[in-house]
Structure 1
Amino acid sequence: MMNTDEAGTARGVVVVTAAGSEQGSRTAQELLDSGWCVAVTARTVAELARIMPGMSGHRLLAVAADPGDPRQVEQLLDRVLARFGGIDSVLGAESSVASAWRRRTSGEGEAAAA
């Protein structure tokens, strides 16, 4: 688990979906190199295992999740939040993850306003 000192040195937290694709893995690596905390996700552990040798560090979280399964998407978001404490952006081809994140974010804003 990341401690607050490590989180404080990062630029923010980005979830990269479809990280098993060439574009997804390149995006994740560029974000890591730029100082972001990055959660990568792909449908299978095999896809993640293929890209992981080039990525490592305390600012990386890899989670296998099917973006078509709302339960798995929610579990993915829960794991990212538990590890990094927040999410600043969701990037990638899997719009269901970004949609779930936006719903959570707008729900938190409504709860805070109440």
Structure 2
Amino acid sequence: MSAHTVDLDRGVVLVTDIGRDHGTRVAAEFLAAGWNVAVTARSVTALVRIMAGKPAHRFFAVVADPTDRWQADCILDRVGARFGTINRVVDPTGTVAAAWLMRSDVDAAA
């Protein structure tokens, strides 16, 4: 299966700062609903805790600080390269979501 295979009925969701309990729950809910899910955490340890048993073709993890604007752009680039177009961003800090909305290839209504 191609890394760019996306269920168009669902899409791609990026959940930042997965180390928080809320982020872990949200990511699991989207994954269970059939979405391709990308997550970020500030440490490998936080990612390893939630990665076990996740389908590798629909789950992608990135170690980064989502509050840093440069790293926010890198997160978007890496997720885009892995899954293609990002349809939703769940971002408590707002930095990644702001960068995502500023990109020209994103429909502002998404």
TM range (shorter): 0.7 to 0.9
The aligned length equals 105
| 5+ residue gaps, structure 1 | 110-114
Q: Which has the greater radius of gyration? A: 1
Please give the alpha-carbon distance, in whole angstroms, between the structure 1 residues aligned to 2:90 and 2:39: 10
CA deviation map 1:56-104 (0-9, x unaligned): 3311110011122222111110011101110001013121010000011
CA RMSD, 1 decimal: 1.8
Structure 2 CA distance for partners of 1:68 and 1:15, relative to 1, 3 Å:
same
* Higher helix proportion: 1
Give the TM-score normalised by structure 1: 0.82
> Is 2:3 the counterpart of 1:2?
yes
Please give the alpha-carbon distance, in whole angstroms, between the structure 2 residues aligned to 1:56 and 1:20: 19
Structure 2 CA distance for partners of 1:100 and 1:13, relative to 1, 3 Å:
same
Give the TM-score normalised by structure 2: 0.85
**Identity, % of aligned positions:** 48
Please give the alpha-carbon distance, in whole angstroms, between the structure 1 residues aligned to 2:66 and 2:56: 25
Please give the alpha-carbon distance, in whole angstroms, between the structure 2 residues aligned to 1:9 and 1:15: 15
Q: After the TM superposition, which parts of structure 1 deviate over 6 Å for at least 4 consecutive aligned residues?
A: none
